[in-house]
Amino acid sequence: MIIGEIIGTVVSTIKVAKIYQSRLKIAKVINPFGEPTGKYFIVEDAVGVGTGEKVLISDDDGVVRKLLGKDNIPIRSAVVAKVDKINIYE
């Protein structure tokens, strides 16, 4: 799992049929303290999150296919949870 923050959406009027109903978002990867790591993902929004929200991202295409209930889709990464709070105990 990867922690990310949604920073935008991807709008595409022409897509392959298997992802026609997909909502695509752009997420920047952040560390547990909320600092950006410099990495970005285009993700399937499986839970309905908005810009600025922190999320958990699965970057395993096999897991994503099982979670979305779709086989042979060309999507590797998906938002699987909205993060409400991160507690770090030192």
- What are the pLDDT digits (tens) for 16-28? 776 777 789 999 9
Question: In which domain, by residue range, is 64 found?
Answer: 2-82
In a domain, 89, yes or no: no
What mean pLDDT comes out for the span 44-60? 91
Give the pLDDT score at 75: 73
Give the pLDDT score at 68: 67
Q: Name the region of 61 (left: φ>0; alpha: ψ -120 to 50; beta: rest).
A: alpha
Tokens at 60, concatenated: 């395993």
In a domain, 87, yes or no: no
| Total of domains in the chain | 1
Q: What is the CATH number of the domain that holds 25?
A: 2.40.50.220
**Total-model pTM:** 0.85
Tokens at 22, concatenated: 């997909």
| pLDDT value at 76 more than 80 | no
Given pLDDT bands bounded at 50, 70 and 90, which one contains residue 14?
Answer: confident
Place of tokens 């922690």: 3
